[in-house]
Amino acid sequence: MEEKGVARFPRPVHGRIPNFEGAARAAQRLKELPAWKKARVVKANPDSPQRPVRRLALEQGKVIYMAVPRLRQERCFLELDPKRLKGLEDRASSIKGAFRYGRPVAPEGMRKVDLIVAGSVAANQEGARVGKAGGYSDLEYAIGREFGIVDEGTKTLTTVHPIQVVSYEIEMLRHDFPLDYLITPDGITETGHTYPRPGGIYWEELGEDKIRAIPLLRRLQEQEGI
């Protein structure tokens, strides 16, 4: 992306969800998507290229949930309610603004999520994606399933530059959630994927270090006697 001149601040793009030229236009494409129009509650990633999506959601009166980085707090999501943010939609759509204006909540206090917006390094038209390789987006999805916030009907999408839509196969593991839609500045692609959606937390795939680092996982483990 840097070689082609389509990467945008922050740089370098390696090791992050890359910001891209046309991110705001990609966000505007969502106005054409029925699943976006119907959504009242959106879970969105906190990365720079999806800030225009978060801003649009708040401007349209949608509630947003953003995860606290690395889920390092017991109340590991931030709730951005547009009813409390009149005139602050742009500020609240940034990462710093979300922490300033958002309300920390635990999964038990969250509303049902209608649509998930994920950041991607790459994705293909079969609905597979690659993130930053930390596994947190997939874990957030799994937590949503565990608490009934996310179900089989919850749609998923990503906004990316066309150069990030790849033609090769991307391996999908059991805990990886698939994408229903790819949104670029040029248009919308419905993937029609056949991948199963993860049903919840797969404890056997989590290392002890990650469990110890995430307060919510420690609590769930204690409650379930795992």
Question: What is the tens place of the pLDDT at every residue in 164-177?
Answer: 999 999 999 999 99
Over residues 142-170, the mean pLDDT reads 97
pLDDT above 70 (res 28)? yes
- Angstrom distances, CA of residue 92 to CA of 2, 76, 80, 106: 28, 17, 8, 19
- pTM across the whole model: 0.96
Over residues 159-163, the mean pLDDT reads 98
Over residues 118-127, the mean pLDDT reads 98
Mean pLDDT score of the chain, rounded to an integer? Answer: 96
Band the pLDDT of 134: cuts 50, 70, 90: confident
Over residues 15-32, the mean pLDDT reads 97
Residue 83's contacts (CB-CB under 8 Å, 6 or more residues apart) are: 61
Residue range 102-111, pLDDT digits in tens: 999 999 999 9
pLDDT above 80 (res 226)? no
Over residues 86-94, the mean pLDDT reads 97
Residue range 46-62, pLDDT digits in tens: 999 999 999 999 999 99
Band the pLDDT of 224: cuts 50, 70, 90: confident
C-alpha dihedral sign at 141, 91, 52, 39 = positive
All structural domains of the chain: 23-224 (3.40.50.10420)
